[in-house]
Structure 1
């Protein structure tokens, strides 16, 4: 059974992510955990209350959150309900990133799916600050679904990589299973001006080939220029339905997070974006 965590702030974007998750795993036994972290709501609104007052406010807020979570689940269960799907709600007194990370560890979650904001939001990037923090710190693959994206099977998946990371087998299996069931083409893209791979890169590329056996796998290179522009061009060229990248210290993705590249991607990407982790779990 797949275990999927969907953080929600009860917004339209979060609802969209939950509906997308249901479609993505429509034919697979799955348990969807829908989590709302409410610590900041308590401390933000009532920061002058004493400890007893905070405890009472916390309990009252928890009851409100639990009711809203139950109503949310009732609104998305189909008629008839999918017999392969279970739903559980989590009212979490913590900040969002820590709450998600702790729950991922506790329940051994396979994938976090969350909604992102669109170009018309107040932010200059689709990836809001919470999404970026979860990309960076949560020890689990994270799939961000753009606002307004209409579900369709990802027949082509773009996977930019520099082959420098020793990939985690569990992360690649998630990608392989997802791409395999949709018979997707996975395009591994290396943005470089060099023709030869180092021994380390060659070994990691071979590991990719040996692990991703279910999807159709393709390898290609593109010359270095603005990385975001190359990625966007390849998404259009391949008609990709999903973008996948790996996050680790000193990785290609981490390098992007601290530059304007991720802002440009966040503003213009119109497809789901999965960030796989190379962190210990």
Structure 2
């Protein structure tokens, strides 16, 4: 059974992410954990409050959030409900990233799916600061779904990679299972001006072929240019339904985050973005 965590702030885009998750796993047994972390809501406005005031605020906030979670579930379970799906709601007195990481470890979560704001939001980027924090620090694959994206099967998946990472088998299997059930095309894109691969790159490329056996896999290269522009060109050319990247230290993805290139990419991103982690779990 697939285990999926959906963080929610009870916004429209969080609800949209949950509905996307339901469609993505419509024909598969899945347990959806609807998660809200509320420590910041308790402490944020009461920095000089007494212990008694904090305790009362914590209890009141927990009751309020549990009501909101129950209401959210009532909206999405469906009539009749999908017999393959089960739901649990979690109100966690923790910060978002720490709470997600602890829950991911405790419940062995396969995938985190979260909604992201559209271009017209006040942030003016698809990926808000909370989403980027989750991308960077949560030890689990994270799928960000743009607010305006209407669900369609991920038939064409773009996977930019430099073949330098020792990919984690569990992470690739998640991608392989997802792409395999939809008979998807996975386009591994290498942005380079050199044709030959090093022995390390060849080994990692071979590992991709060994693990991604269910979808149709293609290996392509494009010349060096602005990486965000290169990716967006390929998203358009391949009519991609999903973008996949791997987060690891000293990786292309990390370079994007720290150099703010991700902002340029996110302004134009109209499709779900799956970030696989190369971290020990």
Q: Which residue of 2 aligns with 1:126?
A: 126
Corresponding position: 1:226 with 2:217: no
TM-score normalised per structure 1? 0.99
Query: 5+ residue gaps in structure 2?
Result: none
SS in 1 for 2:44: helix
2:47 is the alignment partner of 1:47: yes
Q: Is 1:97 paired with 2:97? A: yes
Counterpart mapping for 1:185-264 below 5 A: 185-264=185-264
CA apart distance, 1:232: 0.3
Task: Report the Cα offset of residue 53 of structure 1.
Answer: 1.5
Cα distance in 2 between the residues matched to 1:64 and 1:240: 40
CA distance in 2, matches of 1:15, 1:47: 31
* Superposition pairs of residues 260-271 of structure 1, within 5 angstroms: 260-271=260-271
Provide the C-alpha distance between the structure 1 equivalents of 2:52 and 2:177, rounded to a whole number of angstroms: 49
Segments of structure 1 that go 5 or more residues without pairing to the other structure are none
1:156 paired with 2:156, answer yes
Q: Which is worse superposed, 116-125 or 152-161? A: 116-125
Corresponding residue number in structure 1 for 2:7? 7
How far 1:275 sits from its partner (Å)? 0.1
Deviation >4 Å, runs of 4+: none
Q: Which residue of 2 aligns with 1:19?
A: 19
**Number of residue pairs aligned between Structure 1 and Structure 2:** 281
SS of residue in 2 equivalent to 1:195: coil
Q: 1:46-76 CA deviation, whole Å, 9 max, x = no partner?
A: 2221112111110111011011101100110
Q: CA deviation at 1:264?
A: 1.0
Distance (Å, rounded) in 2 between the aligned partners of 1:261 and 1:225: 13
User: CA offset at residue 279 of structure 1?
Assistant: 0.2
How far has the Cα of 1:249 moved from its partner? 0.3
**Displacement after TM superposition at 1:18 (Å):** 0.4
Tell me by how many angstroms 1:260 deviates.
3.2
Q: Does structure 1 conserve the Cα–Cα contact (< 8 Å) formed by 2:118 and 2:124? A: no
